[in-house]
Structure 1
Amino acid sequence: MYSDRALVIGAGFAGLLAARVLSESYGDVVVVERDRLAADTRYRSGVPQAHHPHALHARGAEVLSALFPRFGDELVDAGAVRADVGSDHLVRFPTGWAPRDHLGLSVLSATRVTIERTIRRRVLKLPNVSIVDGVAVEGLLHDRGTVTGVHGTRDDRPFTDYADLVVDASGHGSKLVPWLAEQGVHCPAPMIVNGHTTCTSRLYHLTEDLELDWKTARELTQAPRTRRGGTVSEVDGRHWFVSLSGADGDAAPDDEDGFAEYAATLQCQDIAEIVKTASPASAIHRSGTLRSRWNRYHQVQDWPRGLLALGDAVASLNPVHGHGMTLAALHCAELHHLLQGHDLAKEPLLFQRAVARTVQVAWKEVTTADLGWGDRKPPLRTRLRQWYARRLTQAIPGSTRVYRAYVRVTQMADRPVKLLAPAVLWRVLSGSRLRATGR
Structure 2
Amino acid sequence: MYSDRALVIGAGFAGLLAARVLAESYGDVVLVERDAISPDTGYRAGTPQACHPHALLARGAEALETLFPRLGEEMEDAGAVRADLGSDFLIRGPSGWAPRDYLGLSVLSMTRVMIERIIRGRVLRLPNVSLVDCVAVDGLLHDRGTVTGVHGRRGDRPFADYADLVVDASGRDSKLVSWLAEFGVHCPAPMIVNGHVTFTSRLYEVNRDLKLDWKTAFEITHAPDARRGGSVSTVDGDQWFLTLFGADGDAAPTDDDGFLDYATTLHCQDIAEIIKTATPVSKIYQAGNLRSRWNRFHQVPNWPRGLLALGDSVMSLNPVHGQGLTLAALNCTTLRTLLQEHDLSSEPLVFQRAIARTAKIPWTSATTSDLGWSARKLPLGTRLLRWYTGRAFEGVPGNRRVYHAFIRVSQMLDHPAALFRPAVLFRVLLGRTLSGRRPRATER
- Short-chain TM bin: over 0.9
> Is 1:95 the equivalent of 2:95?
yes
Q: Within 2, Cα distance between the matches of 1:117 and 1:435? A: 42
Q: Within 1, Cα distance between the matches of 2:255 and 2:320? A: 20
Tell whether the 8 Å contact from 1:97 to 1:437 is kept in structure 2 after alignment. no
Q: Within 2, Cα distance between the matches of 1:114 and 1:329? A: 16
Shift of 1:209: 1.8
Instruction: Identify the residue that residue 27 of structure 2 maps to in structure 1.
Output: 27
Instruction: Identify the residue that residue 288 of structure 1 maps to in structure 2.
Output: 288
Instruction: Identify the residue that residue 166 of structure 1 maps to in structure 2.
Output: 166
Shift of 1:434: 2.3
- Correspondence 1:98-247 to 2 at 5 A: 98-247=98-247
Q: Within 1, Cα distance between the matches of 2:306 and 2:417? A: 36
What residue identity is the alignment partner of 2:261? E
Instruction: Identify the residue that residue 58 of structure 2 maps to in structure 1.
Output: 58
What residue identity is the alignment partner of 2:176? L
> Is 1:356 the equivalent of 2:356?
yes
1:149-172, Cα deviation, whole Å (9 max, x unpaired): 101111211111110100000000
TM-score, with normalisation over the residues of structure 2?
A: 0.97
Q: Within 2, Cα distance between the matches of 1:326 and 1:281? A: 28
Instruction: Identify the residue that residue 312 of structure 1 maps to in structure 2.
Output: 312
Instruction: Identify the residue that residue 298 of structure 1 maps to in structure 2.
Output: 298
Shift of 1:40: 1.6
Q: Within 1, Cα distance between the matches of 2:41 and 2:110? A: 16
Q: Within 1, Cα distance between the matches of 2:359 and 2:256? A: 37
1:47-101, Cα deviation, whole Å (9 max, x unpaired): 1100001000000001111111110011111110011111110000011111111
Instruction: Identify the residue that residue 7 of structure 1 maps to in structure 2.
Output: 7
Q: Within 2, Cα distance between the matches of 1:26 and 1:436? A: 52
What residue identity is the alignment partner of 2:22? L
Q: Within 1, Cα distance between the matches of 2:305 and 2:87? A: 48
What residue identity is the alignment partner of 1:370? D
Q: Within 2, Cα distance between the matches of 1:368 and 1:281? A: 36
Instruction: Identify the residue that residue 337 of structure 1 maps to in structure 2.
Output: 337
Tell whether the 8 Å contact from 1:98 to 1:437 is kept in structure 2 after alignment. no
Runs of at least 5 residues in structure 1 that lack an aligned partner in the other structure: none
Shift of 1:437: 4.8
Instruction: Identify the residue that residue 419 of structure 1 maps to in structure 2.
Output: 419
What residue identity is the alignment partner of 1:380? L
Tell whether the 8 Å contact from 1:34 to 1:46 is kept in structure 2 after alignment. yes
TM-score, with normalisation over the residues of structure 1?
A: 0.99
What residue identity is the alignment partner of 1:398? G
Tell whether the 8 Å contact from 1:169 to 1:311 is kept in structure 2 after alignment. yes
> Is 1:276 the equivalent of 2:273?
no
Tell whether the 8 Å contact from 1:138 to 1:151 is kept in structure 2 after alignment. yes
Equivalent pairs counted in the alignment come to: 438
Runs of at least 5 residues in structure 2 that lack an aligned partner in the other structure: 440-444
What residue identity is the alignment partner of 2:130? S
Q: Within 2, Cα distance between the matches of 1:336 and 1:105? A: 26
Query: Secondary structure of 2:334's partner?
Result: helix
Instruction: Identify the residue that residue 382 of structure 1 maps to in structure 2.
Output: 382
Shift of 1:398: 2.3
Q: Within 1, Cα distance between the matches of 2:359 and 2:114? A: 26
Q: Within 1, Cα distance between the matches of 2:248 and 2:124? A: 43
Query: Secondary structure of 1:41's partner?
Result: coil
Instruction: Identify the residue that residue 43 of structure 1 maps to in structure 2.
Output: 43
Query: Secondary structure of 1:7's partner?
Result: strand
1:167-225, Cα deviation, whole Å (9 max, x unpaired): 00000000000000011000000000011110000000011121111100000011000
Shift of 1:436: 5.4
Query: Secondary structure of 1:63's partner?
Result: helix
Tell whether the 8 Å contact from 1:9 to 1:168 is kept in structure 2 after alignment. yes
Tell whether the 8 Å contact from 1:135 to 1:154 is kept in structure 2 after alignment. yes
What residue identity is the alignment partner of 2:392? L
Q: Within 1, Cα distance between the matches of 2:344 and 2:122? A: 25
Q: Within 2, Cα distance between the matches of 1:427 and 1:297? A: 41
Tell whether the 8 Å contact from 2:101 to 2:436 is kept in structure 1 after alignment. no
Question: Percent identity among equivalent residues?
Answer: 70
> Is 1:74 the equivalent of 2:71?
no
Instruction: Identify the residue that residue 261 of structure 2 maps to in structure 1.
Output: 261
Tell whether the 8 Å contact from 1:220 to 1:229 is kept in structure 2 after alignment. yes
Q: Within 2, Cα distance between the matches of 1:21 and 1:430? A: 48
Instruction: Identify the residue that residue 407 of structure 1 maps to in structure 2.
Output: 407
Tell whether the 8 Å contact from 1:397 to 1:437 is kept in structure 2 after alignment. no
What residue identity is the alignment partner of 1:32? V
Q: Within 2, Cα distance between the matches of 1:437 and 1:71? A: 33
